[in-house]
Amino acid sequence: MAEKTEKKTKPKISLKQILSPAAAVFTAYFLIGLIATLISKQSAAFADFWQTRIASTPRAILALLTDFFPFSLAETLILSIPLMLAAVIYKSDKITEKPGGTLRFAVNALSVCLLIFGMLFFNFSAGYNTSPLASRLGLSREKVSAEELYDTADKLLYQLNEDEKEIDFIYGGASVMPYDVSELNKKLNQAYKKVCEKYGFISDFRTNVKQVALSEPWTYTHIAGVYTFFTGEANINMNFPDYTLPYTAAHEMAHQRGIAREDEANFVAFLVCAESDDPYIRYSGYVNVFEYVASALNKADPKMYSSLYYSSVPENLKNEMKSYNAFFEKYKENTVAKVSGKINNGYLQSQGVREGSRSYNLVVDLAVAYYKNDK
């Protein structure tokens, strides 16, 4: 007589088994951030409120937590991706053996991705939709003429000439930053405190910029600094010439404090550098913005630019710019820079910045408006 076999039934899988508490929190965080970003696209007032009153808290907490690491955590995480993927693949084999394991693994993996995008949407993206910085500073931003560019460049030259007297230069070459990054951080934080007291929409907290260990190879991307929203860190490329470092650091710290648009981060960096008690930091701010304004003047009226260059630009600054061009020649043309530029341009356009990477140059309009207002 044949033995009777019982039909096996698959164990029921509950929602609790699939969706862990962490996955639920990550998903909710992403959804709230996404909704806030979408609303901010329709209302600058809401974007101002969200970026200043809501997003500033998690952004500051993240920055302060990662500030404990003396190295760039973002760089370490990116370099560790192959190891993390290998660990995930190894772990996934054990997880998927359990009932509902495959689905649970997929949901948890998706929730981690949502957390990363949530950090962008919740903490930062509304900054691209806030009221223009010009209006918050009481500046009138208009189309500028070649004469206004010349006047602004001339005023910048006057101010950097004052600080240039206290700066050391390599003979016939670049200027030298007279301290290390630790001291630079201290001085920039002091300058930021002054600026934050003047402008309440800029978050006031103390953090340090991080030096990227692989700065030399990173230079091939043409990136001098980057704010990593998923770690809250302001990272700078230490391979670039000294005079770019304070201004670049101040720019990335502006992103860290909620200034999202690139031209506006450039201008806040200028305000911070100009507010510093240190002549080298002031010099860095004036020179970097002068280069933007001078480039715009050269395009608008080459003859007027030549007149300014040969009559007013000091010899040390000419050598500074020549030294930079000689440094950059090695990295100028390469595939990595083209790919990196397209990625950055695509990211900015995805955030509603129509000009994409060209938006960095729009700091010129703000500088002209600032000096017109300063009359």
338 vs 353: CA distance, rounded Å: 19
367's enclosing H/E stretch is: helix 363-373
Please enumerate, as own/partner, the contacts of 294-302 that have beta carbons within 8 Å and a separation of 24 or more: 294/153, 295/361, 296/144, 296/149, 296/361, 296/364, 297/146, 297/149, 297/150, 297/153, 300/145, 300/146, 300/149, 301/146, 301/149, 301/150
Greater confidence, 253 or 11? 253
DSSP 110-149: HHHHHHHHHHHHHHTGGGGGSPPHHHHHT-------HHHH
Residue type present at position 298: N
Helix, strand, coil distribution of the chain in percent, nearest 5: 70, 5, 25
CA 113 to chain centre: 21
Identify the weakest region by mean pLDDT among 23-37, 251-265, 341-355.
Answer: 341-355
Check pLDDT > 50 for residue 130: yes
The stretch 329-355 carries a mean pLDDT of 89
Greater confidence, 16 or 266? 266
The answer to whether residues 166 and 279 touch, using CB atoms and an 8 Å cutoff, is yes
Residue 375 pLDDT class (50, 70, 90 cuts): low
Mean pLDDT of the chain: 90
pLDDT digits (tens, 9 = 90+) for 177-199: 999 999 999 999 999 999 999 99
Helix (H, G, I), strand (E, B) or coil at 233: strand
Residue type present at position 229: F
Residue 1 is predicted with a pLDDT of: 45
Q: Both tokens of residue 85?
A: 């993927």
CA 315 to chain centre: 32
Q: Both tokens of residue 193?
A: 């405190």
DSSP 273-331: HHH-S-HHHHHHHHHHHHHHHHHHHHHH-HHHHHHHHHHHS-HHHHHHHHHHHHHHGGG
The stretch 327-337 carries a mean pLDDT of 92
Q: Residue 225 forms beta bridges with which residues?
A: 236
pLDDT digits (tens, 9 = 90+) for 246-286: 999 999 999 999 999 999 999 999 999 999 999 999 999 99
| pTM of this prediction exceeds 0.75 | yes
- Any idea which residue has 């991705």 for tokens? 113
- Any idea which residue has 């995008």 for tokens? 117
- Any idea which residue has 């039934």 for tokens? 9
253 φ/ψ angles, rounded to the nearest 5 degrees: -70, -30
Helix (H, G, I), strand (E, B) or coil at 7: coil
- Any idea which residue has 């948890």 for tokens? 108
45 vs 50: CA distance, rounded Å: 9
Residue 161 pLDDT class (50, 70, 90 cuts): very high
CB-based contacts of 192: which residues, under 8 Å, 6+ apart? 202, 204, 250, 253, 257, 272
Residue 19 pLDDT class (50, 70, 90 cuts): low
The answer to whether residues 269 and 209 touch, using CB atoms and an 8 Å cutoff, is no
> Which residues in 45-83 are b (16+ Cβ under 10 Å) and which e?
ebbbbbbbebbbebbbebbeebbeeeebbbbeeeeeeee
317 vs 172: CA distance, rounded Å: 10
Share of the chain above pLDDT 70, in %: 91
Check pLDDT > 90 for residue 318: yes
Residue 345 pLDDT class (50, 70, 90 cuts): confident
Task: Return the domain boundaries, the chain.
Answer: 15-129, 133-373
Phi-psi region of 172 (alpha: psi -120 to 50; beta: other; left: phi over 0): left
DSSP 9-51: -PPP--HHHHS-HHHHHHHHHHHHHHHHHHHHHH-HHHHHHII
